[in-house]
Structures are given as structure tokens and as C-alpha cells.
Structure 1
Amino acid sequence: MTEANEFTPIIDPSSATVQTMFGSVLQQKIQSGALEQALGKYADKLIDDCARDVLREYGDVGKAVKEALTKAIMPNIDDLSDFPSYHDFVTKRLRMAATEFYDQRLAEVLDKEIQEIMSELPEEITLSWVLDAVRKSITQYGEGDHVDEEMTLIIEESSYGYRHIYIGKEADMDKYRCEYQLDLDKEGCIYSMKIDEDNVKSKKCVGPFYGAERKLMAAYAMKSKVNLDQGEHQHNYDLIIESYDD
């Protein structure tokens, strides 16, 4: 049976070589526009591939297009005045809570604290009173340590009438090892103080304190004046650590 699209050669194979035959067929295809059509398809595919690569999301052009679209679609948050920012809401709520706390509790707490501090301070603070507070603190919290022993007291006078007072819980301590240091200005007021190497003037938070530490902190907070009631020499003061029943 003969096929419907049977190929009929136009070149006599008996008189033409294969090379001549291929050249003739190629020339016919070029003249008919087949090569131009093939090159056109290839060029279209090349352009399409290049455009796809350039416009990929991770490419420079793709990023630029995405950025432009984002700006066009995304609303301007600053224009949404009906939406308060989250941190503003939190700040206002914290301020309300703090105000409520102050109104209900803080004044009461502060008044009680100030009253306790004031009640612990005598009208006139003397160095003997400071030593007695330290002595009582040693016996109260020291479980009997150092009883009947002597404390260390060092009084140094610096320029312009300033004084530095060092108090240690043991006898014959070096001034830099003493647990307490009171610095007095020329008027005798406490302008600086150290407790167990903590400078209460430079530190924002120290403590908690009990006994002598609490009393001395109260004196420092009130900028109290310390009177050297027994004079400038440490040997004039009672440094014996005695036991207290109360």
C-alpha cells in the first residue's frame, strides 16, 4: 500500500553524489526560509531565557521590581493615625500602673521607711555612738566572736579639715582592711562612706543592711554631722567589744 505522503525525490541519485545532493537540499532549505525560521526560534528562546534569568527574584532587576511593587502596595504606616504604636500603649499603661502604685502604696511605704530611719538616729551623732552601733552589731550578728577584744579605730585628718575614720571589727587592722570607712568634710558631715568595700556614694544599689550598717546608711542618707566627742585621738575612745543582753 502506498503511503499518503510518499516522498518523491527530485534529484537523480544515479547522477548525483551524496555531497551534491546535501548541498542542493541545504540550498533549497535556505531559499525557502527554513534556516531563518530556525534561527528565529532559537533567538526567541535565547531572549526568553535571558529575560527569565534577569527577572528572577534574587537578581538585581527582580529585586528592584519587587521593591517597587512593595512600595506601591504597602501602605504608609505613618498615615495610619488610627493605629497607636505598641510601645506608646505599653508606656502609657506602665505610667498608669506606676501612678496607681504611688497613690495607693508608695507614699505609705516611704513615710514608714523615713520614720524608721529618723527614729534610729539621735539628735546628735557622735563617734562614740557610731562605735557603740558597730560594737552591738558585732555581738548581735557575730555569734559571740571578738567579745572582750578591741576594735580598730583610725582617725586621719587630711587637708582643708577633712577627716577619714576607719573602724575594724578586730584589733590592729590596717585601714584598708577595716569594714567601715566614714569620710567627713570640714563641717563634720558624712560626704562618703564605705561598708565592706562597697562605696555607697558611687553604687546605685548596696545592701541589704542590718544593725550598724543600717544605722550608718541612715546617717549617710541624712548627711548627718559626726561629732568627735572624745577628741581627735583614737585611744580616747572605748574600743572594747562587750556583750549586750538586748
Structure 2
Amino acid sequence: MVIQRAGSIVHIGFHKTGTTSIQQVLGRGREALLQAGCAYYIGRHMADNHVELHAAAMRPHRPSTFRLGSGLVFDETYRQTVVRELAAFGAVHAGQTCLFSAEGVCLLRHGDEVAWLRDALPQPVRIIACLREKGAYMASYRAQLEKVRHLWGGVIQRDEYNYTEDDSWLWDYESRLAPFREAFGSDCVMVLDYDATTEAQGSIVPGFLEAIGLRDVLPPQAWAGLFLNVRESRGSL
């Protein structure tokens, strides 16, 4: 359990682990969370899905669905704008937990990308990743990716998010978590077992809230009836 009353907690997905459900509950419960000392960020592009974190942190040439589909230019001006907005949020909520959720962050794979994110956030920073059984993850991720194939222009890059063959880097959980552990410290990277949590609690949401020390802030009605993981859900691949 993460009990923290300063700095940042960043939920990074992975994809297809109930991220949209978590974000919906956090967004709807924003006021209750704030009263409990946790400020859930309002994103510049999407209120509850903070895609600007990965969009700004990624190296300029790297694609994501949001980067390809947004029509925006992710240059130094964009990066500095994001830095200023994060700093302002941290200043307003000094002494509180600044909470972010952005599964696109799990696509960061270079040390300089993760270091940029670390330095842009209110300190100290803790990372929470949700992982599911690999075979189910592969099938669900591949199906979701088919929906955005039109954005690629027929180009599949082996080192990027749209390469989904059996030898893809995307299926190597430990390698994907390695740059986060290096940048933030292993003790500051928590892994939540999606399958065990949903089996025990019926949803990823209460397990996530428990992991960040806020299980009792929102009632079970806050997540009752939300899907656990459906391929039609909106993501930030």
C-alpha cells in the first residue's frame, strides 16, 4: 500500500488492465479525493487520461496513437508548456498527493524519456503499474490495436507500440519496467496483479484505491457496473 501525502503517484497502466474504469472513478470522485488529500490532475487534452505525460516525454520521432491522431506538434514548446502546468499543479497542491493516470506512459522505454517525466513531476514520485496474464494481454492488445491501424500509414516499427509479433518488446514486462525502476528506484515502482485483483474484488478499481491508500474514500457504488476490461474501451496506445 502506498500512503503518501506529498509528491506524485503515477498510474501507468499497462494497457488493457481496466485503466479507463480507474480513470472514470477517479474523475467522478475528484472532489472526495481532494478532501482526503489527493489531487487528481485535470489533463490538458483529456480530463482524466493524462496523455500529455507520454506525449511530452517521448523522443520526438516516436509514435503513439495519441501522437499520430492529435495533429499536434510535440516540440520543445509543447514540452515546456506541460512542465509549467505540472509545476503549477504541484504548487497549488503542495503537501497533498498529486495523482496522475496515463497508460501511454508505459510506452516510455528510454532512460532519457523516463528521466524527463521524473523531473517534470512534483517530488517524490511513485509509479503504479497493473499487469495481467501475458496471453490475455497479448490477445486484447492486438485486438485493440486493429482499431487504430489506419493511423500508421502501413508502417509498422519493430521498436514501437504497433509491433505485436510474438517477439515484440511489448510482452517483456521486466524490460519495460526496468527504466522506471532505474529512474525512480525499485521501491517506488509498485506492480498490481490485474488478474488476482479482479478475481478477488470483482474489479481492478478497489484494488487500485487500496494500493494508493484511498480504499475507504470512495464507496463501492463508485465502480459498480463498470466494465473490467473490454476491447471497445478508449485507450492511449
Larger Rg: 1
TM-based fold match above 0.5: no
What TM-score do you get using the length of structure 2 for normalisation? 0.23
Per the normalisation by structure 1, the TM-score is 0.22
